[in-house]
A = this chain, B = another copy of it.
Amino acid sequence: MAAPPLSPLAPKSFPDMPSIDGVRIGTAAAGIKYKDRTDLMVMRFDRPAAVAGVLTRSHTASAPVDWCRTALPGGSARGLVVNSGNANAFTGVRGRQATEQTAAAAADVLGCQPEEILLASTGVIGEPLDAGAFSDILKKTAASAKPDCWPEAASAIMTTDTFPKYATRSASLGGVPVTINGIAKGSGMIAPDMATMLAFFVTDAPLAPAVLKRLLTTANDQAFNAITVDGDTSTSDTVLLFATGAAEARDAPGITLPSDRRLAGIRRALKDIMRDLAQQIVRDGEGASKFVTVTVTGAITKRSARRIAMAVANSPLVKTAIAGEDANWGRVVMAVGKAGEPADRDRLAIWFGDVQVAADGERHPSYDEALASAMMKRDAIDIRIDLGLGTGRFTAWTCDLTHGYISINADYRS
């Protein structure tokens, strides 16, 4: 399969990535599935890093997800090993053995327990992963890891992605500047209802695991859990947040309580960087030609607003209408109706951008087809739906459904 062309929604520029004290990264072309491209990424922490994660809620989760579920409660990590090309999912006993073997090889180099190594794999499902075949290269890669490899790390975890996804933010913690770097991958099998995609964040802030967990879960609800490409949820979705604590050397305060008020800056920065990377995944959605923001207001609860936003964002008829630049707001009405959440047809109002198309349960009296159609030509489409029932609101991000999605997923054997 030829590499797909760069997404038209790809960022115009990529950020300079600072290094984060206390973490080094190595990448390698291990030949796991792809030839002549990197498919292995190792992150190593000089001292044990605090860690927290959110994992897929799939009932057919991959072996590395099972591994993380066991390892994460320890709250401490010395390394992270990620491979692309093979998800090590639905691989039975051999799948578990492959995770044990990978963690043991990494622990051997890093001088730690296997349980201090986090794992993630992404790629084809159901193919046995031969961990022995890349143990040696894994050890070499871990041994030669360097601080400044963030773009390379983002590239090594790509599968059908057309561009690497990375971002950085800084924040103040007790007056001391700290940094958060993040990388993510994903462009198909993206649905938020159960969890998220592969994404890894590292900060030098000295934060305890319980603090990380609270920060991560809260930010994730409005980031990776607010996006969808195709409504299909991966067996491998994993988001991890590591804190090296290296900023302690610069007198940043160690934070052990999630309620600590000094977390405000970090909380804001983490939410911002997670949303940035989540939106990058949507911008690289398979076949995407439009970036779509669906905002629901006036629902009875936030949860209800979320379900309605996702019903709209996942509707094939809404998504194909957007691909066709068709201001077909009737399909938005349909999707609101099918969401199964409280909605009163006769209070419904809908906007495309700043053009109100529907009000009080019918077409807006001043509806202007030409104006609405012009709006649909844009790269970024905003759909706003007000239910007029309460104060619940939610914003979801998605892309359109095009011939490109079919080509990527049907025309070629994966």
Q: Which of B95, B234, B348 contacts A60 (CB 8 A)?
A: B348
| A136 interfacial contact with B, CB 8 Å | no
Output the least CB separation between A406 and chain B (Å): 5
Pair B233/A337 contact, Cβ less than 8 Å: yes
Identify which of A213-221, A249-257, A324-332, A390-398 touches chain B: A324-332
Pair B60/A333 contact, Cβ less than 8 Å: yes
Pair A59/B343 contact, Cβ less than 8 Å: yes
Given contacts A94-B362, A317-B189, contact A337 B414 (CB under 8 A): no
Pair A414/B326 contact, Cβ less than 8 Å: yes
From 339 to 357 in chain A, residues with beta carbon under 8 angstroms from any chain B beta carbon are: 339-346, 348
Bound together, the chains give a CA A395 to CA B9 distance in angstroms of 40
Pair A60/B334 contact, Cβ less than 8 Å: yes
From 272 to 330 in chain A, residues with beta carbon under 8 angstroms from any chain B beta carbon are: 314-317, 320-321, 323-324, 326, 328-330
Bound together, the chains give a CA A90 to CA B400 distance in angstroms of 24
A–B complex contacts, Cβ < 8 Å, 13 sampled: A59-B339, A60-B337, A60-B343, A93-B362, A125-B331, A125-B334, A126-B329, A126-B362, A316-B405, A320-B409, A328-B413, A401-B406, A405-B406
Which B residue's beta carbon lies closest to that of A229?
B316
| A361 interfacial contact with B, CB 8 Å | yes
- Known interface pairs A59-B340, A89-B330; 7 further A-B residue pairs with C-beta atoms within 8 A, sorted by A's residue number: A59-B337, A59-B343, A91-B362, A92-B360, A232-B315, A233-B337, A401-B406
Binding site for B on A (CB under 8 A): 56-61, 87, 89-95, 124-128, 188-189, 191, 193-194, 230-235, 314-317, 320-321, 323-324, 326, 328-331, 333-346, 348, 358, 360-363, 400-403, 405-407, 409-414
Pair A406/B337 contact, Cβ less than 8 Å: no
Q: Which of B91, B323, B413 contacts A326 (CB 8 A)?
A: B413
Which B residue's beta carbon lies closest to that of A95?
B362
Output the least CB separation between A341 and chain B (Å): 7
Residues of B near A191 (CB, < 8 A) are 338
Output the least CB separation between A260 and chain B (Å): 35
Pair B362/A326 contact, Cβ less than 8 Å: no
Residues of B near A59 (CB, < 8 A) are 336-337, 339-345
